[in-house]
């Protein structure tokens, strides 16, 4: 194993340890529950950013529709929570007790068949991962098998996310429409609204995110990870070597989509609702910005970028609510032009080599940015 690769893996482990110390120890000690809950919401987006490191940073698949999978995971979890909150006792004032309020408002008199399986938590947990993964497989099989990639793949995934958001809004009686699924109260009888529950859900989200980071690191450190990087840089050469490139791309796209869906489910639990505003084009592009700012080749950088951009967005939008969108767009352009490897690239290429001589003579320099 080369010295450069050894250094890179140690830096990854140190970075993950620092992220763990930040989100598990430091932030809970210094932030009140309101701000900590905001950080918990930011961390749900980090699931998407870690998935983008796999499919965009290391495989070259730019998806502008990750909000689609984030939303599917969130809606699956919201369906279970809404059914639990819609017991006959809680909805006795409705014309049809026992169904969600938005269905009653739209003159639906019985629970739709598609909602019935979500009365089971076991089915819901499986669906949170399986439904987005199946959707990603269908998209991947339809496009990647036909060698549709680059900007065309990005535009098509963006269009699919837009179509789903329009569909959700249009099917108000089944999805809650533009308002989404709200008034989520309990998880198997456990009230998720008090501050004590928010603390627990925050730490659950943290541990799940750390687990997702280790899964991504395992994939990238394996032979599969090397094939993905080779596919990104020289796809034809990999294909001529006998590998089915489309299968590898489809797999990593499905894996990234499943990660995004887990983030969506945790978002629903922590924030208490899910709406189509988290499914369409704007949130999908924002998720790409999180990854780009942190560094699309770095797992730790993607998480750090998500936290920094969202924290800046919150602070900036509180003081300048009409300007933060322009600020985010300008930030993305600046990063792409000046720092194409993001914050992680600045750290590995500029800061660490200047900190001291611990690298020693003869050590390899960090690998160059991928060929575009």
Condensed to tens digits (0 to 9), the pLDDT of residues 248-286 reads 999 999 999 999 999 999 999 999 889 998 888 888 988
Tokens linked to 33: 């529950």
Banded pLDDT at 362 (limits 50, 70, 90)? very low
Give residue 105's Cα distance to chain centre: 32
Q: Of 41-55, 284-298, 306-320, which gets the smallest average pLDDT?
A: 306-320
Hey, which residues does 190 pair with through a beta bridge?
A: 187
Q: pLDDT tens-digit profile of 4-15?
A: 555 567 778 888
Indicate the SS3 state at residue 190.
Answer: strand
Report d(CA 230, CA 168) in Å as an integer. Answer: 38
Q: What are phi and psi of 45, to 5 degrees?
A: -70, -25
CA-only gyration radius of the chain, Å:
21
Q: What are phi and psi of 32, to 5 degrees?
A: -75, 175
Q: What are phi and psi of 152, to 5 degrees?
A: -65, -45
Indicate the SS3 state at residue 25.
Answer: helix
Average pLDDT over residues 115-143: 94
pLDDT of residue 299: 92
Average pLDDT over residues 81-102: 86
Using the CB atoms, write b or e for 87-119: b if 16+ within 10 Å.
eeebbeebeeebbbbbbbeeeeeebeeebeebe
Q: What is the value of pTM for the model shown?
A: 0.89
Using the CB atoms, write b or e for 196-208: b if 16+ within 10 Å.
ebbeebbeebbeb
Banded pLDDT at 372 (limits 50, 70, 90)? very low
pLDDT of residue 5: 57
């Amino acid at each position: 194993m080369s010295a450069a690769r050894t250094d890179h893996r140690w830096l990854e482990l140190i970075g993950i340890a620092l992220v763990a110390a930040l989100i598990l120890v430091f932030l809970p000690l210094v932030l009140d529950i309101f701000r900590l809950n905001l950080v918990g919401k930011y961390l749900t987006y980090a699931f998407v950013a870690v998935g983008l490191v796999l499919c965009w940073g290391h495989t070259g698949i730019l998806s502008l529709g990750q909000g689609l999978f984030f939303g599917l995971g969130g809606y699956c979890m919201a369906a279970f929570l809404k059914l639990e909150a819609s017991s006959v006792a809680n909805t006795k004032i409705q014309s049809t007790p026992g169904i969600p309020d938005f269905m009653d408002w739209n003159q639906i008199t019985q629970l739709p068949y598609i909602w019935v399986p979500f009365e089971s938590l076991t089915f819901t947990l499986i669906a949170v991962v399986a439904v987005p993964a199946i959707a990603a497989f269908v998209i991947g099989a339809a496009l990647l098998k036909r060698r549709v990639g680059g900007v065309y793949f990005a535009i098509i995934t963006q269009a699919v996310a837009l179509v789903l958001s329009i569909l959700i809004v249009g099917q108000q009686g089944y999805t809650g429409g533009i308002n989404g699924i709200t008034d989520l109260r309990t998880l198997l009888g456990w009230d998720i609204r008090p501050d004590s529950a928010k603390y627990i859900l925050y730490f659950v989200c943290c541990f799940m995110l750390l687990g997702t980071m280790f899964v991504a690191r395992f994939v990238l450190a394996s032979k599969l990870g090397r094939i993905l990087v080779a596919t990104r840089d020289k796809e034809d050469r990999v294909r001529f070597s006998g590998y089915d490139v489309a299968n590898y791309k489809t797999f990593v796209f499905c894996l990234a989509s499943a990660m995004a869906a887990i983030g969506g489910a945790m978002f629903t639990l922590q924030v208490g609702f899910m709406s189509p505003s988290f499914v369409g084009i704007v949130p999908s592009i924002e998720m790409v910005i999180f990854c780009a700012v942190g560094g699309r080749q770095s797992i730790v950088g993607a998480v750090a970028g998500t936290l920094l951009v969202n924290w800046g967005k919150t602070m900036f939008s509180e003081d300048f609510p009409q300007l933060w969108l322009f600020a985010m767009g300008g930030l993305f352009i600046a990063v792409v032009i000046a720092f194409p490897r993001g914050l992680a690239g600045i750290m590995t290429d500029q800061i660490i080599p200047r900190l001291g001589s611990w690298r020693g003579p003869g050590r390899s320099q960090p690998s160059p940015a991928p060929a575009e």
